[in-house]
Amino acid sequence: MTFRRRVWTQLDLDAWTGGGVSPVNRLILVLVLASVTVSVLETEPTLAAWSPLFRSFNLVFAVAFSAEFAARLWAKPENPLYADPGGRMRYFLAWHSLVDLVAVASLWLDVFGMGEGWIAVLRLARLFRIFWLTRSSSVGEAVRELWSAVRERSTELFLAAVLAGLVLILAAIALYIVEAEAQPEAFGSIPRAMWWAIATLTTVGYGDVYPVTWMGKIIAGFAALTSIAIVALPAGILAAAFSDAFQKTRARRKAKGPDA
């Protein structure tokens, strides 16, 4: 096995035949998470004193991710789908490569002291690397299983969403009618009342706005009780859908052989 083939086997998730994720990709995953953590912490003003430390980390990440990107590009033709002359260019222009490039460029900018403001946020684009995992065998199967269960019940879930939407807007309209006079700031329009309705029906309940009139409290009370159904309905549909999906998977495994 050539060195380039070995590199490719380590970097390409589809190429790795030992179960799970290859050691190199595992390391990269750890680096991605560390780099995201550093980028998140860098935005905190009270940690400004640690800025040089964060920048050194970013230098390490910048070098590592640049090397990884170059290696990936160099070894890609080992993949039969990219073996043709234009394969590398195609890979280079794929959206995930461009996202990676943006993230790496943002890291280099920070190293050279130009990564201020919203540019810093671009570094977090690397987070999307986590979707890679879905292409590894065991995780990928679970994703497909869950996703197919959700898709098979998409009409039911859509109905639950429509119902939630209707309750949301009706609650907002009702509170707008009865509370607008008492609290024009919080309930003076339907979009304003929607802020209250979302906080109530999802049971978040910030408590920044709430009805103060008797009528408003009675309607809000019923809306709050409805929130139980709004949470229980999709939970019930998903539970039934997953139950179905898991049974199918088991039946399929049984049909294949007695070792499952």
Measured from the Cβ of residue 28, the count of other Cβ atoms closer than 10 Å reads 20
CB-wise, 29 or 63, nearer to a second copy?
Answer: 29
Task: Tell me which amino acid residue 182 is.
Answer: A
- Sign of the four-CA dihedral 38, 44, 50, 52: positive
Taking the complex as a whole, how short is the minimal distance between the CB of residue 14 and a second copy, in angstroms?
19
Q: How far is CA 175 from CA 40, 208, 212, 229, in A?
A: 39, 15, 11, 20
d(CA 213, CA 177): 12
Taking the complex as a whole, how short is the minimal distance between the CB of residue 5 and a second copy, in angstroms?
29
CB-wise, 43 or 56, nearer to a second copy?
Answer: 43
CB-wise, 56 or 138, nearer to a second copy?
Answer: 138
Q: What is the residue whose two structure tokens read 């987070």? A: 127
Report the chain's terminal Cα–Cα distance, integer Å: 34
CB-wise, 81 or 205, nearer to a second copy?
Answer: 205
Taking the complex as a whole, how short is the minimal distance between the CB of residue 57 and a second copy, in angstroms?
16
Taking the complex as a whole, how short is the minimal distance between the CB of residue 10 and a second copy, in angstroms?
23
